[in-house]
Amino acid sequence: MTNKYHSVKPILDPEKPKVFIETYGCQMNVNDSEVVLSILQGCGYSLCEKLEEADLIFINTCSIRDNVEQRIWGRLDLFRQMKKKKRGLVVGILGCMAERLKEELLEHEGVDIVAGPDSYRELPKLLASLSGDNKQINVILSQEETYADISPVRMDNNGVSAFISIMRGCNNMCAYCVVPYVRGGERSREPESILHEAEELFQAGYKEITLLGQNVDSYHWIDTENPTKTVNFAQLLEMVALISPHLRVRFSTSHPKDMANSVLYTMAMYPNI
């Protein structure tokens, strides 16, 4: 599978409009922010590390804890003041809080765009549609979106470890958890695209990758053209481990009810897992 975007490192170009991305919450949100940056670089934006230099600010949000949401509301008040001083500054809310609160966020004076976790491909269109008081929102959850064809732009600059999303959403519907409501149902990413991304990282010098999912043990990819062809988590884990014995492979998070013996056997077989 050929990925549409191949850049592993951020583009820092003073001649291009600048985007600042602030991320809250889990490793999945970190990975999502890297997907967002890849999409934005593809339509002409450059990453900036100083908030005051930004032409576009995105906050990738979390809804797991109330204190995090309250902190984000406080940041929006700050951005509202910044917008008064910097004409044309655009502020967008991404992620779980965007999906949960929707129009409530859009009513805030400091917010121009609200986009849920499955709407990031639409960000260039949402940005292009902004005009005056015409704010933009897309919080439609997908049963298919995995961003499989997008190579995330690594923002941490450590060059050693990286996250790879292997699935999105969750089907467990635990009473204490909001994830299925803000990220939708489970979707497993095509294994070929996961291997492509892992190999790309290894060739770029990364030594460790973490396979991400709300419940990686329930990973189960089915070929839509040939439903008899499937890949489970143990098989995927082996595929990634075989890239190189020098590539350390981790995974998060796993659920005991779905932990199969085959996963344990695979872990025992490959020392780099």
pLDDT digits (tens, 9 = 90+) for 181-223: 999 999 999 999 999 999 999 999 999 999 999 999 999 999 9
Specify the higher pLDDT residue, 155 or 116.
116
Domain boundaries along the sequence of the chain: 18-138, 161-269
Q: What is the pTM of this model?
A: 0.91
Whether 3 shows a pLDDT value over 60: the answer reads: no
pLDDT score at 5: 44
Mean pLDDT for the stretch of residues 174-186: 92
Whether 81 shows a pLDDT value over 50: the answer reads: yes
pLDDT score at 2: 43
Class at the top of the CATH hierarchy for domain 18-138 = alpha beta
Class at the top of the CATH hierarchy for domain 161-269 = alpha beta
What is the percent of the chain where pLDDT is above 70? Answer: 97
Q: What does the mean pLDDT of the chain come to?
A: 93
pLDDT band at 8 (very low <50, low <70, confident <90, very high): low
Give the dihedral of Cα atoms 217, 220, 208, 255; nearest 10 deg. Answer: -10
pLDDT band at 133 (very low <50, low <70, confident <90, very high): confident
Whether 23 shows a pLDDT value over 50: the answer reads: yes
Mean pLDDT for the stretch of residues 115-143: 95
pLDDT score at 131: 86
Instruction: Tell me how far apart the alpha carbons of residues 212 and 210 are, in angstroms, rounded to a whole number.
Output: 6
Q: Per-residue pLDDT tens for 35-57? A: 999 999 999 999 999 999 999 99
